[in-house]
Amino acid sequence: MSALDLLLRGSIRGRKFLLASTLARVAEVTEPAERVREILDRVVEALDVDADIDVEEDEERILGTVDGEDVGLLIGRRGQTIDAIQLLCYRAAFRGSSERKRVVVDAAGYRERRRETIAGQADRAAERALKTGKEIELEPMSPPERKIVHDHLVERAGIETFSEGDDPERCVIVAPLVGD
């Protein structure tokens, strides 16, 4: 069962999450950023996490940041819980609206640390691919994580990247360019 399923069913690690009442409360709020704040407030409260929530909006995205003690519960295993919370925030923010923009939810700098880890994996895979002349398969990743690899290596000489497989096992292949 995915973290989103757990959120939608009403519990995370055995803690009750009152989704129906949260969505009802969110429906009363009209601004997308405030809807994101409301979801994050309720999730933090339901998990009994002592944390500060900051929500910023610009032309391109809404960024919800959660900082505090024990925010690991919000991140979950391999980021599955925070990804589910982000998707829930996105859907709630723009429910009933034709307007759309990115919604990013971060906890304690997890997104940047994960981006750095993935970029490092991509660099090591590119070096191995160039050295061995063989394709290197990275671990399965979510679509945003795969995009980090593709974007990071796009200008790397002698390397190409492509995704292979079906979600949730879809992964990036880092391959040396074959000369014509």
In this predicted model, what pLDDT tens digit does every residue of 39-86 receive, in sequence order? 999 899 888 889 999 999 999 999 999 999 889 989 988 888 999 999
Contact 93, 62 (CB under 8 A): yes
CATH topology classification for 113-176: Ribosomal Protein S8; Chain: A, domain 1 (3.30.1370)
Residue limits of CATH 3.30.1370.50 in the chain: 113-176
Angstrom distance (rounded) from CA 17 to CA 11: 5
- pLDDT bracket for residue 3 (50, 70, 90): very low
pLDDT digits (tens, 9 = 90+) for 133-167: 999 999 999 898 999 999 999 999 999 999 999 98
| SS3 of residue 7 by DSSP | helix
